[in-house]
Amino acid sequence: MNDLRIALWQTPHPASLAEALQRLDTACAQARVQGADLLITPEMFLTGYAIGADRVAALAEPADGPMAQAVARIAQHHGIAIVCGYPEQNPDGRPFNAAQAIGADGTRLMNYRKTHLFGDLDRAQFSAGDAASQVFEWRGWRLGLLICYDVEFPETVRLLALQGVDAVLVPTANMVGYDEVQQLLVPARACENRVFVAYANACGSEGSVHYGGASTVASARGHLLVTAQRHATLMVSALDPGELVDARQHSQLPTRRPGLYQPLAVRE
């Protein structure tokens, strides 16, 4: 594997889909100038996150719908992969809070539905996905997707690590007052699994919801490679495969004892 250069795009949510696509096009151009191979947007970037259940339902599309096709054209035009958050249509209930990875050639690499819904806002707008994230391969890297609250559960990243994931990509809309996620939990998830974790947060506000920024990339030893402040920014971080090799010499995974952990899977 060669280095993988990831751009974290910390930005406010747009007022419309047209604005979202225009801004995404500009961000991808800027990221490519900085040498990025892949850009991650915040959670639900294409439509906005705190927009109400009716609006989410009206804007939701299939995974291969017009929004995905437009993002694919942007990816192909700039030669950059994109991980982008959007509402996925659900014929059986509320839409899914989803994220899609699209390759630099416009090919869909992975679609993932958020499995852990946070608070009344999430639960009012979305259905929870019922499938754990799966690893996909791109440019020799084994990658996985999670969305916001998902990464706060040790089990989600551990499941990806057991599939051999190298980096976990996390679009998020974490709010002001929850900085312990970026400061403590993201580095812990990276360190305990010997993987990179890239966490791209929103900034700014939607109505009464205020996003905390502080997007970050944690190394496979839990060190913060880059960290943003509160304002809008585009940061690029290079993921070094040599870091994975070194960190995994001291991985706990080979000495796990799964037979002792069965109570973890039993809901009280």
Catalytic residue status for 43: yes
Q: What token pair was written down for 35? A: 């040498």
* Three-class DSSP labels, 71-99: HHHHHHHHCCEEEEEEEECCCCCCCEEEE
Q: What percent of the chain has pLDDT over 90?
A: 97
Catalytic residue status for 203: no
Calculate mean pLDDT across residues 150-167.
Answer: 97
pLDDT level of residue 252 (50, 70, 90 thresholds): very high
Identify the active-site residue in 148, 152, 203, 243: 148
Q: What percent of the chain has pLDDT over 70?
A: 100
CA distance 65 to 70: 9
pTM over 0.95: yes
CA–CA distances in Å: residue 114 to residues 51, 67, 73: 17, 18, 25
CA angle, 229 then 13 then 27, to 5°: 70
Calculate mean pLDDT across residues 86-96.
Answer: 97
Residue 265: what pLDDT?
83
pLDDT single digits (tens) 93-105: 999 999 999 999 9
Q: Can you give the residue ranges of every domain in the chain?
A: 4-265
pLDDT level of residue 205 (50, 70, 90 thresholds): very high
Catalytic residue status for 268: no
Identify the active-site residue in 28, 84, 88, 114: 114
Residue 82: what pLDDT?
98
- For residue 162, the SS3 value is helix
Q: What token pair was written down for 11? A: 């930005």
pLDDT at 2 over 80: yes
CA distance 88 to 222: 32
**In the CATH hierarchy, which fold is given to the domain comprising 4-265?**
Nitrilase/N-carbamoyl-D-aminoacid amidohydrolase (3.60.110)
